[in-house]
Amino acid sequence: MTQHIPVLYHQSLEGLNIKPHGIYIDCTLGRGGHSLGILAHLTTGRLIGLDQDEQAIKEASENLKAYLEKITLVHDNFRNIKAIMNDLSISSVDGILMDLGVSSPQFDDPERGFSYRYDARLDMRMDRRQAIDAFYVVNSYPYERLVQILLSYGEEPYAKQIARAIEKQRSLTPIETTFQLVDVIKSALPSKVLSQKGHPAKQVFQALRIEVNQELSILEGTLRDAISLLNHDGRLAVITFHSLEDRIVKKVFAEMSRVNVPSKLPVLGTPKADYELIDKKHSRANETELLENPRAHSAKLRILRKV
C-alpha cells in the first residue's frame, strides 16, 4: 500500500474550525486521511464518513480503528447526504468536507481501470455496484455523445477525431483495456500533439471517469444539500482538482454568500447574506506540500460558513 498523503490537509482542518463537541461529515472518506485529523480534534463529537467505494470503507475502518466510538461509516454516494443524515437522525452538522479528487488507491490499483499508466480492463467505477463502466461508454455510446463528453468533461480539442477513431476501432473489435484505448487515442492525434509534454490520453480519461461516475451532474445538488445541513457557524470545505468542478463550487458559493435585494425595495439597515466565504479566493498547496505530494498541484480549497 502506498503512503496516503491527504491534499490540503492543514488548510482544510483549519478552515473547518473544528469544535470538540461538534458533528462532522467527511463526504469523500477515502483512506480516512482527512477524517483522522478531524477525529483527533473531537472529544464528545462525532464524524460521519461517506464513500461510494467499498474498498475505501474497508481501508478507512482499519486506519481509523482508534476512533471507532466517534465515527459512523456509510457505504453510499454523497449525493444521498440528506437521506443518510435523516436515517441517522441528524438534522444539522458543524462541518462538512468534500475532497473531489479520485483517491490515490483508485488510481494506483491497476485493476480499477482508472489510469492510462496501467493496462487493465476499462472500468473507472468508483462504486462497483453500478452497471455502467468505461467499457460500456467507449463501446456503446454513439459518436455524437462521445464528442459531447470529450468536449464537456475533458475539454479535449481533438474530440471529434478521437471519437471517430473509437467508432472505427470498435466496429472491428471491442476496445477492452486502457492501453487499447490509449493506442486508439494516439492514432487520432497529430504528431505535434504526441510530442508535447504530458500524456495524450489524460483529458479523455478524465472525461470518461466523470461520465461513468456522473461527477459533475450530481455536484451542484449535493453542494446545496450539504449547505442546508449546516448549523450556525457551520462550514463546508470543498477541495477541487479541475476547473469544471471548481467552477460549480465557485458559482454555488457565490450565490449563497450574496444578498439579493430588489432594486426598488426600501431596506432598513445593511442586509447580510446567510453565508459568507471564509476566503474571497481559494487556497492552494504551498511549496512544501507540492514537493511531498505532486498530486496537490491542481488542488483548490474553498470554504463557505453559515453566518
pLDDT per position as a tens digit, 104-159: 666 677 788 888 999 999 999 999 999 999 999 999 999 999 999 999 999 999 99
pLDDT per position as a tens digit, 167-198: 999 999 999 999 999 999 999 999 999 999 88
| Lowest-confidence segment of 37-51, 170-184, 267-281 by average pLDDT | 267-281
* 303: phi then psi, degrees, rounded to nearest 5: -135, 130
pLDDT per position as a tens digit, 82-105: 999 999 999 999 999 999 987 766
Residue 231 and residue 95 in contact, taking contact as beta carbons nearer than 8 Å: no
Give the confidence band of 223 by pLDDT, cuts at 50, 70, 90.
very high
Q: Is the pLDDT of residue 5 over 90?
A: no
pLDDT at 109: 76
pLDDT per position as a tens digit, 149-167: 999 999 999 999 999 999 9
Give the confidence band of 2 by pLDDT, cuts at 50, 70, 90.
very low
Give the β-pairing of 275-277 and 230-240.
unpaired
- Looking at the chain, the whole-number percentage of residues with pLDDT higher than 70 is 93
**Quick one: 127 exposed, middle or buried, by C-beta within 10 A (0-12, 13-18, 19+)?**
middle
* 136: phi then psi, degrees, rounded to nearest 5: -65, -45
Q: Cα separations (Å) of 74 from 28, 58, 71, 77?
A: 11, 11, 10, 9
SS3 assignment for 103-116: CHHHHHCHHHCCCC
pLDDT at 160: 98
Give the confidence band of 292 by pLDDT, cuts at 50, 70, 90.
confident
- Helix crossing, 159-172 with 143-154: angle to 10°? 140
Q: Is the pLDDT of residue 303 over 90?
A: yes
For the residues of 242-273, what is the DSSP string, one character each? SHHHHHHHHHHHHHHT-----TTS--SS----
Q: Could you tell me how many residues make up the chain? A: 307
**Quick one: 121 exposed, middle or buried, by C-beta within 10 A (0-12, 13-18, 19+)?**
middle
pTM of the model: 0.89
Q: Which domains does the chain have, with CATH numbers?
A: 9-99+216-306 (3.40.50.150), 111-213 (1.10.150.170)
For 217-220, which contacts have Cβ atoms below 8 Å and span 24 or more sequence positions? Answer: 218/77, 218/79, 219/100, 219/245, 219/248, 219/249, 220/248, 220/251, 220/252
Give the confidence band of 251 by pLDDT, cuts at 50, 70, 90.
very high
